[in-house]
Amino acid sequence: MKNSYYQPEDLKKFGDIKNWNEELGNKFFDYYNSVFEEGALSAREKSLIALAVSHVVQCPYCIDAYTKDGLQRGIEKEEMMEAVHAAAAIKSGAALVHGVQMMNRYDKLSM
């Protein structure tokens, strides 16, 4: 028995979610595929956004998938790491900005 919640091979079974609800599954994958088509943003740019978001939602499947996707598109490692830093900066900023709430509360309760 495997002793990890995440199994790399499960990524390939993503499509199986349709087995228990085909209608919603199809709607999701249609939406997903449309999102990543060329549009006002290029598919290349969207791939980098997806990679960055994968890190902040901490999805190992998505990180594997979009690192490979980036390699296939010729995205360079420097671009990938900058995208991850952009996401990480927002995530850490989002934590830190709550420090203002802490400061407000502290000041309010203190003499």
Contact set with another protein (CB under 8 A): 12, 43-44, 68, 71-74, 76
Least distance to another protein, CB of residue 109, Å: 56
Instruction: Please choose, from the candidates 63, 86, 66, the residue with its C-alpha nearest in 3D space to the C-alpha of residue 75.
Output: 66
Is the CB of residue 14 less than 8 Å from the CB of residue 61? yes
User: In terms of CB distance, is 71 or 90 closer to another protein?
Assistant: 71
Shortest gap between Cβ of 27 and another protein (angstroms)?
24
- With b for 16 or more beta-carbon neighbours within 10 A and e for fewer, the 20-33 pattern comes to eeeeebeeeeeeee
- Give 56 or 67: the residue with its C-beta nearer to another protein: 67
